[in-house]
Structure 1
């Protein structure tokens, strides 16, 4: 291994973080709006939407990601293993992200086929870009404190992408389309595709791969897969990632339904009107006088702002107490504030906002730690087997992410269908209202709690982190 694995410049950390900002303009849109796009804009039934999201998502997770991970680990160029993937997939990813949120004038069957094809290619190019991008964090530096710092930069960028998508995007879609959401989302995705492509190119230009396996450490795909099956921390992290993203996809994709169908509009208007008046007085008129868009955006804004605050505490806590223990504790605490939503009546707008803020803060502490832990698992594999297979380990985590996103998104539309949700209806049956309430509270709490319990069996604690880091430094010198 290269010995040059220490401190990183602020420029490189920011450049690297822009890659996740770009990717999350796509990912956060999928997580927040894909179900809503399919049911209320594109015009598919909730059942068909559920099948597409589940089947295509799981195929992408279990087939595309491992293949791309294995190929990326064996890529050899003058730019490194992973950076070329970021460069050469940047433009195709932007184009297919736009096409996936386009509404063609097809028959219903034609729309189903188009959705399947577009979503499939979107997940292929997203994996081809984001998997090598994630693996890059494992070879930029071998210093675990720097890795924690890099993760913090990265996930502040993620929060900015999430902030834009969840706070402003619904209002921008309505405004850009003059009330036609199909036209509005196409215009928004065009702009995001251009911006995201530029950011990914900047990531390529500003980063460097420093940890390079020695030629004698080359391994076969069979050996890499064999190492994974014997790597219990990897199995636990794969399961944890899946559970976390099931919860995120389920609650994230349900909030728009929650605000449009459950939250009391009069109480929401009373709560947000002073804020709207203040924004309008300084010339910020994006939300206009639409209390639903404004309330939805401000609700998400509160959670995201405090997630960013939580992220700033993450590195210090992880350095002091170890990633595992910090992640487990704050994942559990954050879950309590998700569960609370089940007990809020439609008029308890203030309590909804407070609970969202507290959930955001405590969950924010865990966000950078997840990916830093996965990089630690790559180090653990090298430590145990004297072979490094960074991308295939990260590909397994991407399997968990995609599987979680697919299962969570599919469960959202499946539950909506089973609870008799009626798309674009002014009134919903009581069963649908109760289902929407469960989708933002009890249902997403279950995977989070399972994840917190799972970490009791994860053995890479603070002491082992330091042992692995020191041993690998000696080997690489």
Structure 2
């Protein structure tokens, strides 16, 4: 609306582009994980999202509407490819825990994740408000150069750093496809 000088008429097409990219990402993930390790895919898509977000910040100017849409599509596509893997990894971690401890805590695991997602959204809303205020954002008026820079940072570089952190942290996640098959086999033998 502000950064690309598109006004309110730009919001709906921009958001629709993101939703379409997300839907296609879910479909692509289902296909890709049949042939490639899902944890590697998760890690690499986060790093690709980091790179695309940084590139968007440095290459999309206020007049680059088509380029902004292209980057927004690609960022949403690669970012959301991890979603199915994220949710399946919770179930895999529950199975891993059952193998190690003999206790199955799926309700606690999924409930804990949902609680902390909601908690994180609340904190993120507060941080967003703080950042908008810090950069001098004023609703429905012409934005200053400082507030436009802040908007661009909040859409690109700031989330990019979190994607990079998640991509690097996923190197520590040890339940890959092969290891999970071993866990399932061990649990099946234990139940038999």
> TM-score, length-normalised on structure 2?
0.91
Distance in 2 (CA, whole Å) between partners of 1:345 and 1:299 is: 16
Deviations 1:25-73 (A, max 9, x none): xxxxxxxxxxxxxxxxxxxxxxxxxxxxxxxxxxxxxxxxxxxxxxxxx
State the partner residue of 1:375.
91
CA–CA separation in structure 1 for the residues paired with 2:33 and 2:187: 20
Secondary structure at the counterpart of residue 321 of structure 1: coil
Q: Does 1:445 align with 2:160?
A: yes
- Give a deviation string over 1:271-304, Cα, whole Å, max 9, x none: xxxxxxxxxxxxxxxxxxxxx3332111121222
- Report the counterpart of residue 391 of structure 1 in structure 2: 107
Larger Rg: 1
After superposition, residues 465-476 of structure 1 pair within 5 angstroms as 465-476=180-191
Deviation at 1:476, TM superposition (A): 2.7
Alignment of 1:160-175 (within 5 A): none
C-alpha distance in 2 between matches for 1:403 and 1:340: 30
Please point out which of 302, 305, 320 is paired with 2:35.
Answer: 320
TM superposition shift of 1:415? 0.7
Q: Deviations over 1:361-420 (max 9, x none)?
A: 222321111000011111111111111111111223224312332232222110111112
Whole-Å Cα distance in 1 between the matches of residues 113 and 80 of structure 2?
Answer: 19
List 4+ stretches of structure 1 deviating above 3 A. none
* Structure 1 position 333, deviation (Å): 1.0
Shift of 1:474: 2.2
Equivalent pairs, count: 191
For 2:26, the equivalent position in structure 1 comes to 311
RMSD: 1.7
| TM-superposed deviation, 1:448 | 0.8
**1:456, CA displacement in angstroms?**
0.7
Please say if residues 307 and 360 of structure 1, whose CA atoms lie closer than 8 Å, have aligned partners that are also in contact.
Answer: yes
In the alignment, which residue of structure 1 is the partner of 2:4? Answer: 263
| Distance in 1, Cα, partners of 2:8 & 2:189 | 56
TM-score (ref. length: structure 1): 0.38
Q: What 5-or-longer segments of structure 1 have no aligned partner?
A: 1-258, 266-291
Matches within 5 A, 1:203-352: 259=1, 261-265=2-6, 292-343=7-58, 344-352=60-68
Q: Which of 1 and 2 has higher RCO (CA within 8 Å, sep 6+)?
A: 2
State the shift of 1:348 in Å: 0.5
- Alignment map for 1:54-133 (pairs within 5 Å): none
CA distance in 2, matches of 1:380, 1:346: 49
- Aligned partners of 1:403, 1:332: CA distance in 2, in Å? 25
Shift of 1:472: 1.4
Give secondary structure in 1 for the equivalent of 2:4: coil
- Could you tell me how far apart the structure 2 residues matched to 1:468 and 1:316 are? 23
Partner of 1:273: none
